[in-house]
Structure 1
Protein backbone atom coordinates (compact mmCIF):
# COMPACT_ATOMS: atom_id res chain seq x y z
CA UNK A 1 0.00 0.00 0.00
CA UNK A 2 1.44 3.40 -1.08
CA UNK A 3 4.88 1.80 -1.49
CA UNK A 4 5.38 1.78 2.28
CA UNK A 5 8.15 -0.19 3.97
CA UNK A 6 7.71 -2.00 7.30
CA UNK A 7 9.36 1.05 8.92
CA UNK A 8 6.62 3.30 7.50
CA UNK A 9 4.02 1.07 9.18
CA UNK A 10 5.94 1.02 12.47
CA UNK A 11 6.02 4.83 12.30
CA UNK A 12 2.31 5.03 11.44
CA UNK A 13 1.27 2.96 14.44
CA UNK A 14 3.94 4.17 16.89
CA UNK A 15 5.74 0.85 17.32
CA UNK A 16 9.04 2.10 18.74
CA UNK A 17 10.58 -1.33 19.42
CA UNK A 18 9.71 -2.59 15.93
CA UNK A 19 11.22 0.58 14.42
CA UNK A 20 14.38 0.04 16.49
CA UNK A 21 14.65 -3.58 15.33
CA UNK A 22 14.22 -2.60 11.69
CA UNK A 23 16.80 0.18 11.93
CA UNK A 24 19.26 -2.11 13.73
CA UNK A 25 19.03 -4.48 10.76
CA UNK A 26 19.29 -1.82 8.02
CA UNK A 27 19.54 1.93 8.63
CA UNK A 28 19.08 2.69 4.93
CA UNK A 29 15.33 2.05 5.26
CA UNK A 30 15.05 5.38 7.10
CA UNK A 31 15.81 7.09 3.77
CA UNK A 32 13.27 5.20 1.66
CA UNK A 33 10.53 7.43 0.26
CA UNK A 34 7.11 6.20 -0.76
CA UNK A 35 6.41 6.08 -4.45
CA UNK A 36 2.66 6.74 -4.32
CA UNK A 37 2.00 8.61 -1.09
CA UNK A 38 3.60 12.01 -1.43
CA UNK A 39 7.20 10.81 -1.33
CA UNK A 40 7.10 10.49 2.48
CA UNK A 41 9.76 8.96 4.65
CA UNK A 42 8.91 7.01 7.79
CA UNK A 43 9.86 10.13 9.73
CA UNK A 44 7.21 12.16 7.88
CA UNK A 45 4.67 9.51 8.83
CA UNK A 46 5.75 9.50 12.49
CA UNK A 47 5.63 13.32 12.64
CA UNK A 48 2.16 13.43 11.10
CA UNK A 49 0.89 10.97 13.72
CA UNK A 50 2.78 12.48 16.66
CA UNK A 51 4.70 9.32 17.47
CA UNK A 52 7.58 11.02 19.24
CA UNK A 53 9.12 7.72 20.36
CA UNK A 54 9.62 6.63 16.75
CA UNK A 55 10.90 10.12 15.89
CA UNK A 56 13.47 9.86 18.70
CA UNK A 57 14.61 6.46 17.47
CA UNK A 58 15.04 7.76 13.92
CA UNK A 59 16.91 10.79 15.23
CA UNK A 60 19.32 8.71 17.27
CA UNK A 61 20.07 6.16 14.56
CA UNK A 62 19.75 8.28 11.39
CA UNK A 63 20.15 11.97 12.33
CA UNK A 64 20.54 13.20 8.75
CA UNK A 65 17.17 11.77 7.67
CA UNK A 66 15.56 14.75 9.43
CA UNK A 67 16.43 16.99 6.50
CA UNK A 68 14.53 14.95 3.91
CA UNK A 69 11.48 16.51 2.27
CA UNK A 70 8.32 15.11 0.71
CA UNK A 71 7.03 15.80 -2.82
CA UNK A 72 5.85 19.26 -1.71
CA UNK A 73 9.30 20.15 -0.39
CA UNK A 74 8.03 19.94 3.18
CA UNK A 75 10.23 18.83 6.04
CA UNK A 76 8.88 17.12 9.15
CA UNK A 77 8.14 20.43 10.87
CA UNK A 78 5.79 21.37 8.01
CA UNK A 79 4.13 17.95 8.30
CA UNK A 80 3.72 18.14 12.09
CA UNK A 81 2.22 21.64 11.91
CA UNK A 82 -0.03 20.82 8.95
CA UNK A 83 -1.40 17.78 10.80
CA UNK A 84 -1.82 19.93 13.92
CA UNK A 85 0.25 17.52 15.96
CA UNK A 86 1.33 19.47 19.02
CA UNK A 87 3.47 16.68 20.51
CA UNK A 88 5.58 16.43 17.37
CA UNK A 89 5.88 20.22 17.01
CA UNK A 90 6.97 20.52 20.64
CA UNK A 91 9.54 17.74 20.29
CA UNK A 92 11.03 19.29 17.15
CA UNK A 93 11.20 22.78 18.69
CA UNK A 94 12.93 21.45 21.81
CA UNK A 95 15.80 20.02 19.73
CA UNK A 96 18.19 22.88 19.02
CA UNK A 97 20.03 20.75 16.44
CA UNK A 98 16.92 20.95 14.28
CA UNK A 99 16.73 24.74 14.15
CA UNK A 100 17.62 24.65 10.44
CA UNK A 101 14.11 23.26 9.81
CA UNK A 102 12.27 26.23 11.32
CA UNK A 103 12.40 28.63 8.39
CA UNK A 104 12.67 26.09 5.56
CA UNK A 105 10.48 26.98 2.60
CA UNK A 106 8.48 24.27 0.85
CA UNK A 107 7.91 24.35 -2.92
CA UNK A 108 4.99 26.76 -2.45
CA UNK A 109 7.24 29.09 -0.44
CA UNK A 110 5.48 28.43 2.84
CA UNK A 111 7.45 27.94 6.03
CA UNK A 112 6.06 25.97 8.98
CA UNK A 113 5.02 29.33 10.47
CA UNK A 114 2.89 30.07 7.39
CA UNK A 115 1.17 26.71 7.87
CA UNK A 116 0.69 27.37 11.58
CA UNK A 117 -0.98 30.67 10.72
CA UNK A 118 -3.16 29.02 8.07
CA UNK A 119 -4.26 26.18 10.32
CA UNK A 120 -4.68 28.50 13.30
CA UNK A 121 -2.43 26.20 15.30
CA UNK A 122 0.85 25.88 17.10
CA UNK A 123 1.41 28.79 19.46
CA UNK A 124 4.82 27.32 20.37
CA UNK A 125 6.04 27.85 16.82
CA UNK A 126 4.72 31.39 16.72
CA UNK A 127 6.54 32.31 19.93
CA UNK A 128 9.78 30.62 18.90
CA UNK A 129 12.32 33.40 18.40
CA UNK A 130 14.08 31.40 15.70
CA UNK A 131 11.00 31.51 13.44
CA UNK A 132 11.12 34.35 10.92
CA UNK A 133 7.74 36.07 11.00
CA UNK A 134 8.66 38.29 8.06
CA UNK A 135 9.51 35.61 5.48
CA UNK A 136 7.45 35.74 2.29
CA UNK A 137 5.89 32.76 0.50
CA UNK A 138 5.34 32.63 -3.28
CA UNK A 139 2.13 34.64 -2.88
CA UNK A 140 4.16 37.42 -1.20
CA UNK A 141 2.51 36.74 2.13
CA UNK A 142 4.14 36.70 5.53
CA UNK A 143 2.71 34.46 8.25
CA UNK A 144 0.98 37.57 9.57
CA UNK A 145 -0.68 38.09 6.17
CA UNK A 146 -1.85 34.48 6.20
CA UNK A 147 -3.26 34.89 9.69
CA UNK A 148 -5.03 38.12 8.74
CA UNK A 149 -6.48 36.34 5.73
CA UNK A 150 -8.02 33.78 8.05
CA UNK A 151 -9.30 36.57 10.32
CA UNK A 152 -7.96 35.12 13.53
CA UNK A 153 -7.49 38.10 15.86
CA UNK A 154 -5.89 36.02 18.60
CA UNK A 155 -3.17 34.73 16.31
CA UNK A 156 -2.58 38.20 14.84
CA UNK A 157 -2.07 39.48 18.39
CA UNK A 158 0.37 36.67 19.12
CA UNK A 159 2.39 37.41 15.98
CA UNK A 160 2.44 41.09 16.90
CA UNK A 161 3.81 40.21 20.34
CA UNK A 162 6.46 38.07 18.67
CA UNK A 163 7.59 41.05 16.65
CA UNK A 164 7.99 43.06 19.88
CA UNK A 165 10.16 40.39 21.45
CA UNK A 166 12.24 40.07 18.30
CA UNK A 167 12.44 43.85 17.81
CA UNK A 168 11.64 43.49 14.14
CA UNK A 169 10.37 46.33 11.95
CA UNK A 170 7.16 47.18 13.79
CA UNK A 171 6.11 49.90 11.37
CA UNK A 172 5.94 47.39 8.53
CA UNK A 173 3.94 44.93 10.59
CA UNK A 174 1.58 47.65 11.84
CA UNK A 175 0.94 48.68 8.26
CA UNK A 176 0.11 45.07 7.42
CA UNK A 177 -2.40 44.96 10.27
CA UNK A 178 -4.17 48.08 9.03
CA UNK A 179 -4.73 46.83 5.48
Structure 2
Protein backbone atom coordinates (compact mmCIF):
# COMPACT_ATOMS: atom_id res chain seq x y z
CA UNK A 1 0.00 0.00 0.00
CA UNK A 2 1.21 3.49 -0.85
CA UNK A 3 1.09 6.43 1.54
CA UNK A 4 -0.20 9.89 0.70
CA UNK A 5 1.63 13.16 1.40
CA UNK A 6 0.59 13.08 5.07
CA UNK A 7 1.97 9.57 5.56
CA UNK A 8 -1.46 7.93 5.71
CA UNK A 9 -2.35 4.62 4.12
CA UNK A 10 -5.72 3.93 2.45
CA UNK A 11 -6.86 2.05 5.56
CA UNK A 12 -6.04 5.12 7.69
CA UNK A 13 -8.24 7.26 5.45
CA UNK A 14 -11.05 4.69 5.71
CA UNK A 15 -10.84 4.88 9.52
CA UNK A 16 -10.74 8.67 9.40
CA UNK A 17 -13.80 8.94 7.17
CA UNK A 18 -15.78 6.32 9.09
CA UNK A 19 -15.91 3.68 6.34
CA UNK A 20 -16.06 0.68 8.66
CA UNK A 21 -16.74 -1.99 6.02
CA UNK A 22 -13.88 -0.78 3.82
CA UNK A 23 -11.54 -0.80 6.82
CA UNK A 24 -12.66 -4.33 7.70
CA UNK A 25 -12.03 -5.47 4.14
CA UNK A 26 -8.54 -3.93 4.05
CA UNK A 27 -7.68 -5.46 7.43
CA UNK A 28 -7.98 -8.92 5.88
CA UNK A 29 -4.86 -8.17 3.82
CA UNK A 30 -2.82 -6.75 6.72
CA UNK A 31 -0.43 -9.17 8.40
CA UNK A 32 0.28 -6.94 11.41
CA UNK A 33 -2.12 -3.95 11.63
CA UNK A 34 -0.40 -2.68 14.81
CA UNK A 35 2.67 -1.79 12.72
CA UNK A 36 0.62 0.21 10.23
CA UNK A 37 0.97 3.66 11.78
CA UNK A 38 0.76 7.10 10.21
CA UNK A 39 3.36 9.88 10.45
CA UNK A 40 2.17 10.64 14.01
CA UNK A 41 2.74 7.07 15.10
CA UNK A 42 -0.99 6.41 15.35
CA UNK A 43 -2.48 3.00 14.62
CA UNK A 44 -6.02 2.30 13.40
CA UNK A 45 -7.50 2.43 16.90
CA UNK A 46 -5.82 5.79 17.55
CA UNK A 47 -7.38 7.20 14.39
CA UNK A 48 -10.82 5.72 15.11
CA UNK A 49 -10.77 7.32 18.57
CA UNK A 50 -9.55 10.68 17.26
CA UNK A 51 -12.29 10.85 14.63
CA UNK A 52 -15.00 9.48 16.96
CA UNK A 53 -15.68 6.30 14.96
CA UNK A 54 -17.37 4.15 17.60
CA UNK A 55 -18.34 1.27 15.30
CA UNK A 56 -14.75 0.75 14.21
CA UNK A 57 -13.49 1.01 17.80
CA UNK A 58 -15.95 -1.68 18.85
CA UNK A 59 -14.92 -3.89 15.93
CA UNK A 60 -11.21 -3.60 16.77
CA UNK A 61 -11.81 -4.31 20.46
CA UNK A 62 -13.91 -7.38 19.73
CA UNK A 63 -11.28 -9.01 17.51
CA UNK A 64 -8.42 -10.53 19.60
CA UNK A 65 -6.06 -10.18 16.62
CA UNK A 66 -5.97 -6.42 17.14
CA UNK A 67 -5.32 -6.27 20.87
CA UNK A 68 -1.72 -5.07 20.30
CA UNK A 69 -3.22 -1.72 19.28
CA UNK A 70 -5.13 -1.20 22.52
CA UNK A 71 -2.32 0.29 24.62
CA UNK A 72 0.02 1.31 21.81
CA UNK A 73 1.35 4.88 22.04
CA UNK A 74 1.77 7.51 19.32
CA UNK A 75 4.72 9.91 19.05
CA UNK A 76 3.25 12.01 21.88
CA UNK A 77 2.83 8.99 24.14
CA UNK A 78 -0.95 9.01 23.81
CA UNK A 79 -2.84 5.73 23.88
CA UNK A 80 -6.23 5.37 22.16
CA UNK A 81 -7.85 6.13 25.53
CA UNK A 82 -5.99 9.45 25.72
CA UNK A 83 -7.19 10.41 22.24
CA UNK A 84 -10.77 9.34 22.89
CA UNK A 85 -10.73 11.58 25.96
CA UNK A 86 -9.33 14.49 23.96
CA UNK A 87 -12.16 13.98 21.44
CA UNK A 88 -14.74 13.96 24.29
CA UNK A 89 -16.46 10.83 22.98
CA UNK A 90 -17.99 9.33 26.12
CA UNK A 91 -19.24 6.18 24.38
CA UNK A 92 -15.79 5.27 23.10
CA UNK A 93 -14.20 6.14 26.45
CA UNK A 94 -16.72 3.88 28.19
CA UNK A 95 -15.96 1.01 25.79
CA UNK A 96 -12.22 1.38 26.39
CA UNK A 97 -12.28 1.86 30.15
CA UNK A 98 -14.41 -1.24 30.73
CA UNK A 99 -12.13 -3.39 28.59
CA UNK A 100 -9.81 -5.19 31.03
CA UNK A 101 -6.95 -5.10 28.52
CA UNK A 102 -6.77 -1.29 28.60
CA UNK A 103 -4.18 0.23 30.93
CA UNK A 104 -6.09 3.01 32.66
CA UNK A 105 -3.03 4.46 34.40
CA UNK A 106 -0.90 4.81 31.26
CA UNK A 107 0.95 8.16 31.02
CA UNK A 108 1.70 10.15 27.88
CA UNK A 109 4.85 12.24 27.38
CA UNK A 110 3.32 15.04 29.49
CA UNK A 111 2.92 12.58 32.37
CA UNK A 112 -0.87 12.73 32.07
CA UNK A 113 -3.36 9.91 32.39
CA UNK A 114 -6.65 10.07 30.49
CA UNK A 115 -8.33 11.44 33.63
CA UNK A 116 -5.72 14.21 33.90
CA UNK A 117 -6.43 15.19 30.30
CA UNK A 118 -10.17 15.33 30.96
CA UNK A 119 -9.66 17.63 33.94
CA UNK A 120 -6.98 19.85 32.37
CA UNK A 121 -8.79 20.43 29.05
CA UNK A 122 -12.14 21.51 30.48
CA UNK A 123 -13.13 25.13 30.28
CA UNK A 124 -15.20 27.23 32.65
CA UNK A 125 -18.48 25.82 31.32
CA UNK A 126 -18.58 22.02 31.15
CA UNK A 127 -20.54 20.47 28.29
CA UNK A 128 -22.58 17.29 28.56
CA UNK A 129 -20.06 15.29 26.50
CA UNK A 130 -17.25 16.46 28.79
CA UNK A 131 -19.18 15.53 31.91
CA UNK A 132 -20.10 12.09 30.54
CA UNK A 133 -16.51 11.45 29.47
CA UNK A 134 -15.22 12.40 32.92
CA UNK A 135 -17.86 10.21 34.57
CA UNK A 136 -16.89 7.23 32.38
CA UNK A 137 -13.24 7.60 33.38
CA UNK A 138 -13.95 7.99 37.09
CA UNK A 139 -16.51 5.18 37.31
CA UNK A 140 -14.02 2.77 35.72
CA UNK A 141 -11.37 3.73 38.28
CA UNK A 142 -9.03 5.69 36.01
CA UNK A 143 -6.42 7.22 38.32
CA UNK A 144 -4.76 10.64 38.14
CA UNK A 145 -1.01 10.72 37.67
CA UNK A 146 1.21 11.03 40.72
CA UNK A 147 2.77 14.14 39.16
CA UNK A 148 -0.21 16.28 38.25
CA UNK A 149 0.10 18.85 35.53
CA UNK A 150 -0.84 22.36 36.59
CA UNK A 151 -1.01 25.26 34.12
CA UNK A 152 1.25 28.18 34.98
CA UNK A 153 -0.38 30.71 37.25
CA UNK A 154 -0.10 34.38 36.42
CA UNK A 155 0.39 36.53 39.50
CA UNK A 156 -1.69 39.49 38.32
CA UNK A 157 -5.05 41.06 38.96
CA UNK A 158 -6.36 39.19 35.90
CA UNK A 159 -6.31 35.97 37.94
CA UNK A 160 -8.83 37.36 40.40
CA UNK A 161 -10.88 38.71 37.51
CA UNK A 162 -10.96 35.29 35.81
CA UNK A 163 -12.07 33.63 39.05
CA UNK A 164 -14.84 36.20 39.48
CA UNK A 165 -16.00 35.65 35.90
CA UNK A 166 -16.02 31.87 36.38
CA UNK A 167 -18.00 32.19 39.61
CA UNK A 168 -20.47 34.55 37.96
CA UNK A 169 -20.92 32.19 35.01
CA UNK A 170 -21.47 29.23 37.33
CA UNK A 171 -24.11 31.13 39.29
CA UNK A 172 -25.87 32.08 36.05
CA UNK A 173 -26.09 28.44 35.00
CA UNK A 174 -27.37 27.43 38.43
CA UNK A 175 -30.08 30.13 38.25
CA UNK A 176 -31.17 28.88 34.84
CA UNK A 177 -31.30 25.30 36.08
CA UNK A 178 -33.37 26.35 39.09
CA UNK A 179 -35.83 28.12 36.79
CA UNK A 180 -36.14 25.06 34.55
CA UNK A 181 -36.70 22.83 37.59
CA UNK A 182 -39.58 25.06 38.68
CA UNK A 183 -41.11 24.97 35.18
CA UNK A 184 -40.80 21.18 34.85
CA UNK A 185 -42.26 20.70 38.34
CA UNK A 186 -45.26 22.85 37.38
CA UNK A 187 -45.76 20.74 34.26
CA UNK A 188 -45.77 17.57 36.38
CA UNK A 189 -48.26 19.07 38.84
CA UNK A 190 -50.55 20.31 36.07
CA UNK A 191 -50.41 16.99 34.21
CA UNK A 192 -51.48 15.02 37.26
CA UNK A 193 -54.19 17.54 38.14
CA UNK A 194 -55.66 17.42 34.64
CA UNK A 195 -55.35 13.63 34.55
CA UNK A 196 -57.68 13.29 37.53
CA UNK A 197 -60.17 15.94 36.42
CA UNK A 198 -63.04 14.48 34.37
CA UNK A 199 -66.64 15.59 33.77
CA UNK A 200 -68.75 14.29 36.66
CA UNK A 201 -67.00 11.89 39.00
CA UNK A 202 -63.94 9.92 37.94
CA UNK A 203 -65.71 6.67 37.01
CA UNK A 204 -68.56 8.32 35.06
CA UNK A 205 -66.15 10.69 33.33
CA UNK A 206 -63.98 7.83 32.12
CA UNK A 207 -67.04 5.90 30.89
CA UNK A 208 -68.31 8.93 28.97
CA UNK A 209 -64.99 9.62 27.22
CA UNK A 210 -63.59 6.11 26.90
CA UNK A 211 -64.75 5.49 23.33
CA UNK A 212 -63.72 8.87 21.95
CA UNK A 213 -60.47 8.86 19.87
CA UNK A 214 -59.51 12.37 20.97
CA UNK A 215 -59.65 11.24 24.59
CA UNK A 216 -57.05 8.56 23.88
CA UNK A 217 -54.87 11.16 22.14
CA UNK A 218 -55.29 13.45 25.13
CA UNK A 219 -54.23 10.70 27.57
CA UNK A 220 -51.21 9.86 25.39
CA UNK A 221 -50.11 13.50 25.23
CA UNK A 222 -50.64 13.88 28.96
CA UNK A 223 -48.54 10.78 29.69
CA UNK A 224 -45.71 11.94 27.43
CA UNK A 225 -45.64 15.40 29.00
CA UNK A 226 -45.69 13.97 32.53
CA UNK A 227 -42.89 11.48 31.95
CA UNK A 228 -40.88 14.04 29.98
CA UNK A 229 -41.19 16.55 32.79
CA UNK A 230 -40.25 13.94 35.40
CA UNK A 231 -37.16 12.93 33.42
CA UNK A 232 -36.18 16.57 32.91
CA UNK A 233 -36.58 17.31 36.61
CA UNK A 234 -34.38 14.37 37.61
CA UNK A 235 -31.67 15.35 35.10
CA UNK A 236 -31.76 19.00 36.16
CA UNK A 237 -31.58 18.10 39.84
CA UNK A 238 -28.61 15.85 39.10
CA UNK A 239 -26.91 18.70 37.22
CA UNK A 240 -27.70 21.13 40.04
CA UNK A 241 -26.68 18.98 42.99
CA UNK A 242 -24.38 16.36 41.54
CA UNK A 243 -21.47 18.57 40.54
CA UNK A 244 -18.16 17.12 41.74
CA UNK A 245 -15.85 19.45 43.70
CA UNK A 246 -14.14 21.97 41.48
CA UNK A 247 -10.68 20.83 42.58
CA UNK A 248 -11.24 17.38 41.14
CA UNK A 249 -13.42 18.10 38.16
CA UNK A 250 -12.27 21.35 36.65
CA UNK A 251 -8.61 22.10 37.24
Do they superpose with TM above 0.5?
A: yes
| Residue pair 2:105, 2:142 contacting (<8 A) in 1 also | yes
| Residue pair 1:117, 1:155 contacting (<8 A) in 2 also | no
Tell me the equivalent position of 1:86: 90
Cα displacement string for residues 135-172 of structure 1 (whole angstroms, at most 9, x for unaligned residues): 324x4x5xxxxxxxx97984535848xxxxxxxxxxxx
Bigger Rg over Cα:
2
List alignment gaps of at least 5 residues for structure 2: 123-129, 151-162, 171-242
Residue from 38, 41, 46 that aligns with 1:39: 41
| Residue pair 1:50, 1:88 contacting (<8 A) in 2 also | yes
The CA distance in 2 between the partners of 1:134 and 1:23, in whole Å, is 35
SS at match of 2:27: helix
- Aligned residues, how many? 147
| TM-score normalised over the length of structure 1 | 0.70
Residue from 56, 59, 70 that aligns with 2:58: 56
The CA distance in 1 between the partners of 2:118 and 2:244, in whole Å, is 10
| Residue pair 1:11, 1:54 contacting (<8 A) in 2 also | yes
The CA distance in 1 between the partners of 2:10 and 2:34, in whole Å, is 10
Alpha carbon RMSD of aligned pairs, Å?
2.7
The CA distance in 1 between the partners of 2:31 and 2:49, in whole Å, is 18
The CA distance in 2 between the partners of 1:129 and 1:28, in whole Å, is 30
Change (3 A) 1:72 1:17: same
The CA distance in 1 between the partners of 2:81 and 2:54, in whole Å, is 13
Q: CA deviation at 1:111?
A: 0.7
Q: CA deviation at 1:70?
A: 0.8
| Residue pair 1:33, 1:39 contacting (<8 A) in 2 also | yes
List alignment gaps of at least 5 residues for structure 1: 142-149, 161-176
Tell me the equivalent position of 2:245: 156
| TM-score normalised over the length of structure 2 | 0.52
Runs of 4+, deviation exceeding 6 Å: 150-153
Q: CA deviation at 1:134?
A: 5.8
Tell me the equivalent position of 2:143: 132
Tell me the equivalent position of 1:71: 75
| Residue pair 1:7, 1:29 contacting (<8 A) in 2 also | no
The CA distance in 1 between the partners of 2:137 and 2:28, in whole Å, is 37
Q: CA deviation at 1:57?
A: 2.5
Q: Is 1:3 equivalent to 2:13 in the alignment?
A: no
Q: Is 1:107 equivalent to 2:97 in the alignment?
A: no
The CA distance in 2 between the partners of 1:12 and 1:155, in whole Å, is 34
